[in-house]
Amino acid sequence: MKMPKDLFFRLSFMMFLEFFVWGTWYVTTGVYLRKSLDFTGSEIGWVYSCSGIAAIIMPFIIGRLADKYFPIERLMAVLHSIAGAALLMAAQTNDFAHFFPWILLNALAYQPTMSLAISMSFYHQKEGMGQFPRIRLWGTTGWIVGGIIVSVMGWENVSMPLTLSGYVSFALAAYCLTLPSAKPLGKNTGLRDVLQLVNNKALIYTLIAMVFIMVPASFYYSFVNPFLVEKGVNFPAAKMSYGQVSEIIILSVLPFIMKKLSWRKMITIGFFVWGARYLLFLLPNAQTEFHYNLALALHGIAFCFSALTAQIFVNHIARPEMKSTAQGAYSLVVMGIGSMLGNIIAGNVVDLASTPAGQIAWDYVWTFAGIFGISSAVIFFLTSAGRFNEHL
């Protein structure tokens, strides 16, 4: 039985807003912090590590609350209200000591809503994972629209993206309360069920592998936009959306691809592309907008074949009453530990590649990120044989 069209559109709009409020400020704020507020690379790394810190603390806890006690839509409404208020306060500050706490509070509230939005989508669909990629692509669309608005309005160097995201967060909080209820299914689950989940060897191996790939991924989210600005690329925030356009294309055909390729092969391809895209910046005569755009466009393969495939795999192996908890575990390990370590490493690599005058040796930065991503792909492929057989 297919999901009713009206429900599909309502969940798609939820996903659109979910990623609009993140994409509007997350990519371009690195430019604002470096150019307008004069933050160091390490300080920018710590700002972007807030999502990782929050993902360590919040999603697993919130996932348990969603599985056992509270409807998902109510949790999302409360969390988005807090997240929106924090962004509005951050927009009013201009130094690291005051900016960081507000962004951390935003992350603590916003981060678990991503896994809740995914759980909400899986809760209401009736066709395995078939409907989810089509719903999720509207999240990518929201991210693109946010980036285009920022670019067209010329907001890369000002705090307006934070303000806009804050107000839209309040609208999303209200909208969540209009969605069909996703009631708890795991009221009778306990510690034994959680232990069975975390003892799944295929799950643990996948999560550990994803931690490693978050290192090259962190370079993309934190420093590719400042790199494009420094290189004089026109409308850099809009150009960043090329990656999301390719993501939409991949998402639209992902159900078909997943029937042809194994979990292992898909994740390996995703890991490899994460690294290879950075090496495009290093090729002879590659300092052109064509090569930059090609590297950005590879984001769809890199993201969908790694992070999104891993999330679908987590949902695939989790029992219905443990799905929110499983998504919380994914966020804790990948978006938490992986993102935090990735952003700290990326920030320090940029600092090491910077001169006292503030000039960055980008070739050094992209060499590190590229080799790290490709090495992760090779190691994963060589060590993962047979680990996914029972979940084919």
- pLDDT tens for each residue of 147-193: 888 888 888 888 999 999 999 999 999 999 999 887 776 555 555 65
Whole-number percent of the chain with pLDDT over 90: 28
Name the average pLDDT for the chain.
84
Asked if pLDDT for residue 392 goes beyond 50, the answer is no
Mean local confidence (pLDDT), 350-375: 89
Phi and psi at 129, nearest 5°, equal -100, 5
CA distance 270 to 354: 29
CA distance 46 to 50: 7
**In contact, 50 and 96? CB cutoff 8 Å:** no
Using DSSP, state whether 354 is helix, strand or coil: strand
Please state the domain extents for the chain.
5-391
Packing angle, helices 309-317 and 201-219, rounded to 10: 160
Burial degree of 385 (CB within 10 A; 0-12, 13-18, 19+):
exposed
Residue range 67-102, pLDDT digits in tens: 778 888 999 999 999 999 999 999 999 899 999 999
Q: Which residues lie across from 354 on neighbouring strands?
A: 360
Burial degree of 379 (CB within 10 A; 0-12, 13-18, 19+):
middle
Q: What is the pLDDT of residue 388?
A: 61
Q: How confident is the model at residue 358 (pLDDT cuts 50, 70, 90)?
A: confident
Asked if pLDDT for residue 19 goes beyond 90, the answer is yes
Q: How confident is the model at residue 38 (pLDDT cuts 50, 70, 90)?
A: confident
**In contact, 71 and 347? CB cutoff 8 Å:** no
Q: What is the pLDDT of residue 280?
A: 85
**In contact, 125 and 10? CB cutoff 8 Å:** no
Mean local confidence (pLDDT), 193-220: 80
**In contact, 93 and 102? CB cutoff 8 Å:** yes
Which residue matches tokens 């420093």? 223
Residue range 263-297, pLDDT digits in tens: 888 999 999 999 999 988 887 665 677 788 888 88
Does this model's pTM top 0.85?
A: no
Q: What is the pLDDT of residue 126?
A: 60
Q: Which residues lie across from 360 on neighbouring strands?
A: 354
Q: How confident is the model at residue 391 (pLDDT cuts 50, 70, 90)?
A: very low
Fold of 5-391: Growth Hormone; Chain: A; (1.20.1250)
CA distance 96 to 302: 32
